[in-house]
Structure 1
Amino acid sequence: MYENIGKLFDLEGMCMEKVYVSVESITYADGSIVPLKIFWNDGRTWDIKRVIHMAEPVNDEFEGIRYTILIGSAVKNIYRLGSSWYVYTIDDPAHTEADSS
């Protein structure tokens, strides 16, 4: 994948849009931060069952810290950059055009 001004493109050419989200988290005495719940901009929320893994970027593959999380039975990634949180969503122009007609 490579980044181009807030967007990622995977090897199949799919465009992935960086979307900032609100996250409820807990900060422990040792300074570690654990996300608990994601709040989407349209009001939807998702409880995070658990954090599977945390990673820092290698070769600038992303910004901040990547948290691999479990939401329901789905494994997803969420990213923390300072005090901001973001996710990548698939930007599908064909889907957007179909929705607008």
Structure 2
Amino acid sequence: MGVPVIGAVEGYALGGGCELALAADVRVCTPTARFGLPEIPLGLIPCAGGTQRMPRLVGLSRAKDILFSGRQVDAAEAERIGLVDEVVPEGT
């Protein structure tokens, strides 16, 4: 896109929602947000660029942990590892 994109996540961003958030230039979320790619434990490959974008944001080692296990990441961990830029209070 020709303009900066801000992704705001309140609640679950799983599968395509997580991949859409990864594509944003800036990501903010609430403390209740959870990120993950639940198609992985089903033997499916994320198809919207999540496997390429996640390592760029969180580093290869952390991305492998998330991508190989299919586990979900809560807001606090997402901020700590660089998946989101800021955790803000609900409704802001």
Taking structure 1 as the reference length, the TM-score comes to 0.22
Bigger Rg over Cα: 1
Greater relative contact order (Cα < 8 A, sep 6+): 2
The structure whose residues are more often strand, as a share, is 1
The structure whose residues are more often helix, as a share, is 2
